[in-house]
A and B are shown apart, each in its own frame.
Chain A
Amino acid sequence: MNALRRHRALSRIWASEPGLRGWFTTVNHTDLGRMFLAVAIFFFIVGGILAMLIRAQLASPRSAFLGPDHYNQIFTMHGTIMMFLFAIPFFEGLAVYLLPKMLGTRDLAFPRLTAYGFWCYVFGGSMMIFSLLAGVAPDSGWFMYPPLSSTIGAPGINSDFWLIGITFVEISAISAAVEITVTVLRYRAPGMSLSRMPIFAWYALVTAVMILTGFPPLILGSILLELERAFDMPFFQVAAGGDALLWQHLFWLFGHPEVYIIFLPAAGAISTILPVMARTRLMGYGWVVAAAVSLGVLSFGLWVHHMFTTGIPHMGLAFFSAASTLVAVPTAVQIFAWIGTLSKGRPSLHLPMLWLLAFFATFVIGGLTGVMVAIVPFDWQAHDTYFIVAHLHYVLVGGFVFPMLAALYYWMPHFTGRKTYFKLGNTAFWLIVPGFHGTFLLLHWAGLLGMRRRIDTYESGQGWEAINLIASISGFVMSIGFALVLIDVVINAAVAIRGSRDPWKAGTLEWAMPTPSAPYNFASLPQVTSREPLYDAPDLPVRLARGEGYLGDPSRGRRETLSVEIATGAPRYITVFPGNTVLPMLMSAVTGLFFLGMLLKTYWLVPISAIGVICCALYWAWSLGGTTREGALPVGHGPELLTAGEVADPPGWWGSIFLLLANGTFFGSLLFGYVFLWTIAPNWPPPRYAEPGLDVALAALAGAGLAALGPRLRPSTGLLLLLPGLGGLAWAGIRILARVPDPTAHAYDATLWVLMGYALLHLAVALVMALFVAARRRAGHIGAIAGGEPRIARLWSDYAVLISGIAVLAAALPGWLT
């Protein structure tokens, strides 16, 4: 088969449906990556317009341009949109588009999950935009501190939009994070060991794991606050045993890692682009990987530095001040590695390089002011002033937006297949960078002069007028620059001349394909022997197109790629991807109804849509795999491999591992909240503890034993043990709830309701999965008979047993100890 016939055959297999329908049914990562990026850019425009409204209001003292109610909504939505609807999804979009191409594979691990995440993002984001247009947008600040965001401070629906809308959007982030983690670990070109991975993949992996462990505390906080607002469960109300500081802990447990979740992908792009621009290789690859991992983990030990003014004891402050200064070290390691790379190469000042230089100048300033605010006495002076506003914009715009503009211009020839012909982007650069510094550099000074954050207006005579006027004018200059970037991108994408395959002479695999890329990425999968395969084998693209790599024979007529060993990159099994389907969009729409029911307090809709989601999920899982045992199949180059349905660790097993990591973090955060209230919150102890009796302890112990043993026996016997085991644990949970019948009475009672609700939900999930696998086995599905499906179900039932046991113990412990 020649290259053209192979291309046609693979295109028939992998292409999305034509026309408008294709938009809703595509599960292809190239399409979805582009769609993610386009929607994220739309939200960036909306967030930018809001920023300009803020600057228009603050340009002069006593401005009547916006009233305080509108101003509160606008600055809250500006922060919310930029953080949740632009920065994270933009990274997701870039990773969704690039990772399979860089890793030398044909798609992400779970294509339908990519689509589901995308549609959750679109529907959740639309919910937020609707609130803005309807004038009921959240208005309590992007971090939604109670009691300002509680029903006491915000009785309307505004805060509910934030809590429910953002939780909906976070499904998208968790989906993408599971997707990226499994893809980086298991879906690479044969021979691509971990130490041969492109540096961007390391950063994406660290970022994805951070999302899995960083987002759950916020999801928990949002659920607790919404439960308080909707059902009077008093988690944050001091009078009833709650504590508003709990929200701050949960929020910043997410919020500080979030800063690095935003910065690290940008650092990944810099580490990829900078060596190409400098016509050399990255200096200190190993050090950069170590720095990225260090930064990712250390960032989880910094959250209290956002709470230095809340009255925490000095020693506690010192822990977090020390950790905050420490995090500068891995950041500096990366900066020095990049400077070293520049010094050993011969940098050329293309537009991506200009943006990287802007990044250096801006991010280093933001980093240094970050070290300043890490020092407690300084933070006490600068807290909640415009110094912080300036600092965070230097870090986020300098550390994310500028590198992403470099990325946009660097990969634009890949997206479009065209040369960057028109030079409007250079003019835009010279408007944006001076405009940015004109806006924010002086705002440090305004902060030091005492200008507080979030004020909608100010009196004259405080020395802030000139600063604010200059900042506003510069802000508009910057906006004109961003508008020019947009025009530049659209014009170049639409009418610029066709470009060559690898215009920057880069060495990574995304350039080993014609651009714009075909839906299958590679006609055959490469065997990788180095970190920059194109530098070592310039003819690789031609050989791949000729079908000289793995899986070059499309005769099986389905979407196939290879899964590899994590460490070595040796081929392990063949993954067969599902085709185009409307199911992900349908399921996300039904998920949206669930959240809409909560938002509008039409609670009858909630269980109906929950059942709808379960039905969609069951149909989704049922349609995977087949009933025919295929055995080992040839993949080219000698080895014959089984398909994923016939191995013990299929992609679903790996996805479950990382989803449970996020789930476990959620549960750990819940336990943290419980212990926090127990030890710190005023108005404890509650009037009475639950004190479960011997019957509950015995039911829980026996249930846990049976449910743990069942899945380890023969399927028929195992199910007979598992069902009463899960039932025993559920009965123990219900008995505990019967002892605290009123969840509105005290934060303790409310916490037990959430703990037991979480346990019961997981027991139900374990039950459904066990029955599902049994049904699949009866229907003759290979995955349930000889594959990894029983192992996946066991993973979930073991988790349910573990957390149910801990929940029962946690409920009993305060009563036993007092």
Chain B
Amino acid sequence: MISVLRLSLPLGLWLASFSAVYGLHGLLCSSRWAAPPIALSERALLIGATLAAIALQALCLLILRSPRWREPDPRLRNIGLALAAVALLAAAWTMLPVVAFSSCL
């Protein structure tokens, strides 16, 4: 089961962080959501969340490469690393709009 979890983790993490950033965007744009308690703009919060998501994906890639956590089967290991790289790129690409688009229009 650990092998299957290693394969599922990177893109599962992407799905969770993508949904979380989209959810955060929804919350920040909601009319009944109070202003954030810290002195940061909506965009700064979204960029922060995106950077955290990208950092998590990079960490996931590093963990899957580390001798302690690496998959013993070489073919599955390569597949897992490819998926981790895909997830890292996916996080960067799909959350890119936080720097370019108006948030709540």
Contacts and interface: CB of A to CB of B under 8 A. Distances in A.
Interface of A: 185, 193-195, 285-287, 289-290, 293-294, 297-298, 300-301, 313-316, 318-319, 322-323, 326, 330, 566-567, 675-676, 679-680, 684-685
Interface string B40-56: 00000010000000000
Contacts of A313: 25, 29, 102-105
Nearest to A318: B97
B30 interface: yes
Given A313-B105, A316-B25, A567 B3 contact: yes
Contacts of A290: 79, 82-83, 86
A329 to B, nearest CB: 8
Nearest 3 pairs of A and B residues by beta carbon? A318-B97, A297-B11, A195-B75
Contacts of B32: 679, 684-685
A675 B27 CA distance: 9
14 contacts: A185-B1, A194-B3, A195-B73, A195-B76, A289-B79, A297-B14, A301-B18, A314-B102, A315-B25, A315-B103, A319-B22, A319-B94, A326-B90, A679-B26
Contacts of A684: 32
A322 B93 contact: yes
B73 A194 contact: yes
Contact of B30 (A194, A323, A680, A685): A680
Contacts of A675: 23
A680 B104 CA distance: 12
A679 B76 contact: no
Judged by DSSP, the binding face of B is helix
A326 B94 contact: yes
Contact of A293 (B3, B83, B101, B103): B83
Interface residues of B, number: 45
A285 B75 CA distance: 9
Contacts of A297: 11-12, 14-15
Given A314-B101, A315-B101, A286 B78 contact: yes
Nearest to B22: A319
Contacts, number: 104
Contacts of B21: 319
Given A195-B73, A566-B3, A567-B2, A319 B97 contact: yes
Nearest to B34: A817
Given A313-B102, A679-B26, 11 more contacts: A195-B73, A290-B82, A293-B7, A293-B79, A297-B14, A298-B90, A313-B29, A315-B101, A319-B95, A326-B93, A676-B26
A298 B11 contact: yes
B41 to A, nearest CB: 13
B18 A319 contact: yes
B96 to A, nearest CB: 6
Contacts of B39: none
Contacts of A319: 18, 21-22, 25, 94-95, 97
B98 interface: yes
B38 interface: no
A333 B14 CA distance: 20
A315 B98 contact: yes
Contacts of B101: 314-315, 318
Contacts of A680: 26, 30
B73 A323 contact: no
Report which residue of A290, A315, A319 has the largest number of chain B beta carbons within 10 angstroms of its beta carbon: A315
B94 A185 contact: no
Interface of B: 1-4, 7-8, 11-12, 14-15, 18-19, 21-23, 25-27, 29-30, 32-33, 46, 72-73, 75-76, 78-79, 82-83, 86, 90, 93-98, 100-105
B6 to A, nearest CB: 10
Nearest to A531: B75
B36 to A, nearest CB: 14
Contacts of A300: 15
Contact of A679 (B27, B100, B102): B27
B99 to A, nearest CB: 10
Nearest to A679: B30
B73 A315 contact: no
Report which residue of B83, B90, B95 has the largest number of chain A beta carbons within 10 angstroms of its beta carbon: B90
A301 B94 contact: yes
Contacts of B96: 318, 322
Nearest to B2: A567
B48 to A, nearest CB: 15
Contacts of B46: 315
A599 B27 CA distance: 38
B15 A301 contact: yes
A256 to B, nearest CB: 13
Given A318-B97, A566-B1, A286 B82 contact: yes
B4 A566 contact: yes
A322 B97 contact: yes
A294 B83 contact: yes
Contacts of A326: 90, 93-94
Contacts of A315: 25, 46, 97-98, 101-104
A314 B94 contact: no
Given A566-B4, A679-B32, A287 B82 contact: yes
A275 B60 CA distance: 34
Contacts of A676: 26
B11 A286 contact: no
A293 B81 CA distance: 13
Contacts of B14: 297, 301
A628 B97 CA distance: 63
A566 B3 CA distance: 8
A651 to B, nearest CB: 14
Nearest to B73: A195
Contacts of B3: 194, 566-567
Contacts of A193: 73
A718 B97 CA distance: 53
B70 to A, nearest CB: 13
A433 to B, nearest CB: 34
A330 B93 CA distance: 14
B26 A194 contact: no
B26 to A, nearest CB: 6
Nearest to A668: B19
Contacts of B100: 318
A180 to B, nearest CB: 14
A286 B3 CA distance: 15
B73 A567 contact: yes
B29 A294 contact: no
A185 B83 contact: no
A297 B17 CA distance: 13
Contacts of A322: 93-97
A675 B30 CA distance: 11
Contacts of A301: 14-15, 18-19, 94
Nearest to A685: B32
Contacts of A323: 18, 90, 94
A286 B75 contact: yes
B92 to A, nearest CB: 10
Report which residue of A287, A300, A313 has the largest number of chain B beta carbons within 10 angstroms of its beta carbon: A313
Contacts of A285: 75
A566 B72 CA distance: 13
Given A290-B83, A319-B18, A567-B73, A679 B94 contact: no
B1 to A, nearest CB: 5
A313 B27 CA distance: 12
B93 to A, nearest CB: 6
Report which residue of A287, A319, A676, A685 has the largest number of chain B beta carbons within 10 angstroms of its beta carbon: A319
B72 to A, nearest CB: 8
Contacts of B78: 286
Contacts of A194: 3-4, 73, 76
A138 B7 CA distance: 41
A193 B3 CA distance: 11
Contact of B26 (A287, A316, A685): A316
A795 to B, nearest CB: 14
Contacts of B86: 290, 294, 330
A323 B1 CA distance: 29
